[in-house]
Amino acid sequence: MTTTSADRRRNLRIALALAGLSVMLGACNTTEIVTQTVPTDYRQRHPIAVQEGRKSIVIFVGKSRGGLSAAQHADVAGIARDWVREGTGSVVVDVPTDTTNSRAAAATYQEIRSVLAAGGVPSRAIVQHPYRPEDPGLLPTIRLSYSKISAVAGPCGLWPEDVGPNILDPGYNENRPYFNLGCASQRNLAAMIDNPADLEQPRAETPAYTARRDIAFERYRKGTAIATPNPDADKAKLSDTGR
């Protein structure tokens, strides 16, 4: 039996029809996945990140005076206390050179080293960094800085979308929070955190006060009141009505 050209064309049309039907059936079974680029939770839009930052102070030095004033001495002592608690690197002291106050700055640097050492900063952690000011018209200063772990959030004030009704925004009628909402709260919370490690894990508990605990257990064993009586508890009352 031979196959004619008409049969071949008919078989080709049947094959094309079956292929088109399979494509249509496959398209009916697909699921459209819609992803949301901006999270609705402000903690996800503006997360608090733990990263390494820097803390610094500036010491103004006149050309006719070397050493620290009382206020500057307190500032340097405060830097030493903070470094012992949160420092992760050396204390870098930027000292100006080849300036009108370079001699006074050199004398002030020696006193700064003494104050830092008295505050608990070892000598190997104090690094002097001479520099030449770019603008000779400004008063050169001594800058103390060190690195530390800090919590940050932001930046705030970003408005990637129009907050008002916009026909180009398909989600404007869904009452979604705008992008900048919650950023200031997250940024302020990050600035108030004393120890950024608290964001990741709790601190270790302090030992129990055994002396007070023994007294409480002894009173509990005798059946007496555990709380310590306060003889001034009734002095703040305004009336004896109801006694």
Q: Is pTM beyond 0.85 here?
A: no
Task: Give domain status of residue 13, yes or no.
Answer: no
Task: Give domain status of residue 160, yes or no.
Answer: yes
Q: Are strands 141-152 and 49-60 parallel, antiparallel or unpaired?
A: antiparallel
pLDDT value of residue 236: 63
- For 130-170, the pLDDT digits (tens) are 999 888 778 889 999 999 999 999 899 988 877 777 776 66
**Residue 1's pLDDT band (cuts 50, 70, 90):** very low
Domain extent for 62 = 36-202
Interior angle at CA 118, CA 113 and CA 120, nearest 5: 100
Task: Give domain status of residue 198, yes or no.
Answer: yes
pLDDT value of residue 3: 53
Q: Which residues pair with 91 in a beta bridge?
A: 126
**Residue 34's pLDDT band (cuts 50, 70, 90):** very low
pLDDT value of residue 201: 87
pLDDT value of residue 228: 73
**Residue 30's pLDDT band (cuts 50, 70, 90):** very low
**Residue 203's pLDDT band (cuts 50, 70, 90):** confident
CB-based contacts of 90: which residues, under 8 Å, 6+ apart? 125, 126, 127, 146
pLDDT value of residue 118: 95
pLDDT value of residue 171: 59
Phi, psi (degrees; rounded to nearest 5) at 139: -75, 120
Task: Give domain status of residue 193, yes or no.
Answer: yes
What CATH number is given to the structural domain containing 116? 3.30.1330.60
Q: What is the DSSP string of 76-92?
A: HHHHHHHHHHHB-S-EE
Q: What is the mean pLDDT of the chain?
A: 83
Task: Give domain status of residue 62, yes or no.
Answer: yes
Interior angle at CA 147, CA 145 and CA 148, nearest 5: 125
Task: Give domain status of residue 90, yes or no.
Answer: yes
Percent of the chain with pLDDT over 90: 41
Q: What is the DSSP string of 197-230?
A: GGGTSPPPPPPP-HHHHHHHHHHHHHT---SPP-
| Res. 31: pLDDT tops 60 | no
Please state the rounded mean pLDDT for residues 14-26: 64
How many domains would you assign to the chain? 1
CB-based contacts of 38: which residues, under 8 Å, 6+ apart? 45, 160, 179
Q: Strands (DSSP E) along the chain, which ranges?
A: 49-60, 91-96, 126-131, 141-152
